[in-house]
Chain A
Amino acid sequence: MMTANEIRNTIVNGLPCDHVEVLGDDGQHFEAVIVSPQFTGKSRIQQHQLVYLALGDRMRSEIHALSMRTFAPDAWVESAT
């Protein structure tokens, strides 16, 4: 069973991120906000695919439900204002 912190670390290890926040304490359902310069110029689908790539096999085997929002750094700044 994974913790939110393990998911966070797995994402950070596989994808350069400015900001990652993972919430969820039941070991099954998680919510993540991910800000990465790699997302710039990419579609939402491509952004999520990059996160799935960083999570690798864990996404298929260990993580039951991960809901995420992804932002390129400039979109993230806009969303905060």
Chain B
Amino acid sequence: MNVQENIHRQVTTNSVVLYMKGTPQFPQCGFSGATVQILKACGVQEYTAVNVLVDPDIRDGIKAYANWPTIPQLYINGEFVGGADIVREMYEQGELQKLIDSSAGR
């Protein structure tokens, strides 16, 4: 299975997936850390966090997958939601909570 197929499977078989630098416990980039905090504030208990720093293929592949050059990237129900700025904006405007509440598994 190639990287793109692997990513596709990852984002479609898990309801919430965050590609980030570091881990939720130890984020290694301010933008990734901020996104983790927002998911927490939205009451998301369980999600799949993928540390791109330990997998160079995923790190490059995820940029091509969404045509998005930066990390973090948040996916809900297989849809690319956005990077740190968009996630924050959606959170501030209450849109992210709605999206999470309407997503499967809750």
| Chain A residues within CB distance 8 Å of chain B | 44-45, 48-49, 52, 59-60, 65-69
Q: Which residues of B contact A52 (CB under 8 A)?
A: 68-70
Known: A52-B69, A59-B69, A59-B70. A45 touches B30 (CB 8 A): no
Q: Which residues of B contact A65 (CB under 8 A)?
A: 30-31
A4 to B63, CA, bound (A): 24
Question: Could you tell me if B67 and A49 are in contact, using CB atoms closer than 8 angstroms?
Answer: yes
| Chain B residues within CB distance 8 Å of chain A | 30-31, 67-70, 80, 82-86, 89-90
Q: How far is the CB of A58 from chain B (nearest CB, A)?
A: 10
Q: Which residues of A contact B68 (CB under 8 A)?
A: 45, 48-49, 52
A41 to B42, CA, bound (A): 28
Q: How far is the CB of B35 from chain A (nearest CB, A)?
A: 12
A19 to B80, CA, bound (A): 27
A59 to B69, CA, bound (A): 7
19 residue pairs of the A-B complex, CB under 8 angstroms, read: A44-B82, A44-B89, A45-B68, A45-B80, A45-B82, A48-B68, A48-B82, A48-B83, A48-B86, A52-B69, A59-B69, A59-B70, A60-B69, A65-B31, A67-B31, A67-B85, A68-B85, A69-B85, A69-B89
